[in-house]
Amino acid sequence: MKAVFTTTVTEKIKDYLLENVNPKVEFIFPENIEEENLISLSKDAEIIVAPRFLETILRSSPKVKLVQIPWIGVQNVTEIVKKYPNVLLANNHGNAKSAAQYSVAMLLCLTNNLIQAHQMINEGKWENRLDLHFTNNFEDKIIGVIGTGAIGNFVAEMLKPFVKAVYGLKRTKPQIKLSNFDKIYTIKNKSDFFKEVDSVIVTLPLTEKTKDFISEKELRLLGRKGFIVNVGRGEVINEKALFTALKEKLICGAGIDVWYKYRVEKNTEGKSYPFNLPFQELENILMSPHRAGPTRDKPHYWKDVVENFNRLAKGRTDLLNLVDLEEGY
């Protein structure tokens, strides 16, 4: 069983995979990941790892049984795999805990005004006034988590010890009890959710149903004391609505790790920004370059991927983290 990687991995990860995966699986780790070479290497492959040139690879690789994405996001992959009914698509939740940790760190940074405090000291402004460096205590706060999957569940688990409550928002009523959440809302009650919570962490994937899931209406309901953190996908929050809410202080602040433009060209000043509106001019936003969980060089990140390879080598199709192609996650 041949597994072709269309992305590069470190020697540490290669060794981990070779040591832990059934020897029936033959790994191909090409140094040359240009399209022509990957197509040639994949002609008799049964597993394709990562989405690079996936459409042309699948077109010429009739034996493929599994497309294994090494990360969570699959929004650019589902439509391709839909064309091949015999191909399974799985993603990887190995970075869920790291992404959750990062999102909680962003929220704590915002609610404790750490950036502003640092900037004042850095500028030589020695001030100790509480109104400049207020700490927004969590003990009486309800934090909302939008998306109750792997990342969202870890977020709730991390927050639970020091907040009043954690509420979750998911598309449908959960089939099992989500013990890290004090209350679960569904889309039907989205407005009630935003009225009830004090701040929000967003972990949603991007699908047709989640694009612009959060609009001006929801941000106004969150209110002037509310913070929002997004480690899901940028377009889940409407860009114009977010910018306006921050500029007009309709919400207190935002921590954003995921954006609206990823093929970014430098402007006339030689700077490149992953958005269409001037977020860099705002003072109440904490920005980072889509890095909430880049742990792909850690062996534990690949644990579920290893399990999928081993199951497939035994002829099993009950794989971990299979993507619902219709739902998009």
Query: 110-163 pLDDT, tens per residue?
Result: 999 898 888 888 888 886 665 566 778 899 999 999 999 999 999 999 999 999
Q: Residues 223, 167: contact at Cβ < 8 Å?
A: no
pLDDT at 327 over 80: yes
**Nearest Cα residue to 94 out of 312, 295, 308:** 295
Q: Where are the alpha helices (DSSP H) in the chain?
A: 11-20, 35-42, 54-59, 78-81, 96-111, 114-122, 150-159, 190-196, 216-222, 239-247, 303-313
**Nearest Cα residue to 306 out of 18, 108, 12:** 18
Render pLDDT for 287-316 as a digit per residue (tens, 0 to 9).
999 999 776 678 889 999 999 999 999 999
Beta strands at 88-90 and 2-5: parallel, antiparallel or unpaired = unpaired
Q: Which of 24-38, 90-104, 122-136, 307-321 has the least mean pLDDT?
A: 122-136
Tokens of 257: 């790790």
Residues contacting residue 18 through CB under 8 Å, at least 6 positions apart: 27
Q: Where in the chain is the domain with CATH 3.40.50.720?
A: 2-94+296-313, 96-287
| CATH class, range 96-287 | alpha beta
**Nearest Cα residue to 155 out of 228, 230, 104, 111:** 104
What was the pLDDT predicted at 75?
A: 86
Which contiguous run of DSSP H or E holds residue 144? strand 142-146
Tokens of 108: 């704590």
The residue type found at 96 is A
Region 248-264: mean pLDDT is: 96
Region 59-75: mean pLDDT is: 95
**CATH number for domain 2-94+296-313, candidates 3.40.50.720, 3.30.70.20, 1.20.1250.20, 3.20.20.70:** 3.40.50.720
Tokens of 149: 């999957």
pLDDT at 1 over 70: yes
